[in-house]
Amino acid sequence: MWIVIFEIYLYFHQIDAQVNMALGKPVWENRPWENIENWRGGNAVDGRYSNRSAAGGQCVISENRVRTATWRVDLGGVVSISHIHIYYRTDNLPSPTEYTSRMAGFFLYVSNTTSKEDGYLCFHEIQTVTGTPLEDQKINCSVYGRYVFYYNERRSDVTYPSYYSKYAYYELCELEVYDCSNPGHFGPNCSIPCPINCQERRCDVNTGQCLGCLPGYQGLNCDQVCDLQTFGLECSQSCGNCSNGETCHHVNGSCLQGCNEGLMDWNCTTGRQTDDLLSCDNKLIVICVVMAFVIVLTGSVLNYIYWKSKNKERFQNKQILELSAANTNDTSKEEIAADDSKQYTDLQKERELNPYEGLRIYSN
**What pLDDT, on the 0 to 100 scale, is given for residue 172?**
99
Pairing mode, if any, of strands 107-111 and 27-29? unpaired
Q: How far apart are CA 360 and CA 351, in angstroms?
A: 13
CB 267 within 8 A of CB 239: yes
Q: pLDDT tens across 117-147, in order?
A: 999 999 999 998 888 999 999 999 989 899 9
**What pLDDT, on the 0 to 100 scale, is given for residue 259?**
92
**What pLDDT, on the 0 to 100 scale, is given for residue 257?**
87
Q: Which of 195-209, 267-281, 314-328 has the highest mean pLDDT?
A: 195-209
Confidence of residue 8 (pLDDT cuts 50, 70, 90): very low
**What pLDDT, on the 0 to 100 scale, is given for residue 124?**
98
Q: Which residues contact 354 (CB under 8 A, 6 or more apart)?
A: none
In the predicted model, is pLDDT for residue 284 greater than 80? no
Q: How far apart are CA 163 and CA 100, in angstroms?
A: 9
Q: Which helix H or strand E contains 320, and what residues bound it? A: helix 275-353
In the predicted model, is pLDDT for residue 324 greater than 80? no
Q: Is the sign of the CA dihedral 233, 237, 243, 246 positive or negative?
A: positive
**What pLDDT, on the 0 to 100 scale, is given for residue 328?**
59
Q: How far apart are CA 190 and CA 182, in angstroms?
A: 7
Q: Following DSSP, what letter does each residue of 200-249 receive, concatenated? A: GG-B-TTT--BSSB-TTEESTTS-EEPPTTEESGGG-EE---BGGG----
Query: For the chain, what's the residue count?
Result: 364
In the predicted model, is pLDDT for residue 177 greater than 90? yes
Of 122, 124, 175, give the one whose Cα is nearest residue 145: 122
Q: Which residues pair with 147 in a beta bridge?
A: 74, 111
In the predicted model, is pLDDT for residue 250 greater than 60? yes
From the CB of residue 71, how many other CB atoms can be counted at a distance below 10 Å? 25
**What pLDDT, on the 0 to 100 scale, is given for residue 246?**
92
**What pLDDT, on the 0 to 100 scale, is given for residue 352?**
52
Give me the mean pLDDT over the 342-350 stretch: 51
Higher pLDDT, 272 or 275: 272
Q: How far apart are CA 112 and CA 147, in angstroms?
A: 6
Q: How far apart are CA 114 and CA 149, in angstroms?
A: 9
Give me the mean pLDDT over the 255-277 stretch: 76
Give me the mean pLDDT over the 209-237 stretch: 96
Percentage of the chain surpassing pLDDT 70? 80
**What pLDDT, on the 0 to 100 scale, is given for residue 117?**
97
Give me the mean pLDDT over the 225-241 stretch: 95
> Where does residue 253 rank: exposed (0-12), middle (13-18), buried (19+ CB within 10 A)?
buried
Q: pLDDT tens across 18-38, in order?
A: 999 999 999 999 999 999 999
Q: Which of 6-20, 212-226, 319-333 has the highest mean pLDDT?
A: 212-226
Q: How far apart are CA 364 and CA 359, in angstroms?
A: 9
Give me the mean pLDDT over the 192-217 stretch: 93
**What pLDDT, on the 0 to 100 scale, is given for residue 356?**
44
**What pLDDT, on the 0 to 100 scale, is given for residue 279?**
53
In the predicted model, is pLDDT for residue 176 greater than 80? yes
Domains and CATH numbers, the chain: 2-181 (2.60.120.260)
In the predicted model, is pLDDT for residue 229 greater than 50? yes
Using the 8-state DSSP alphabet, how is residue 59 labeled?
S
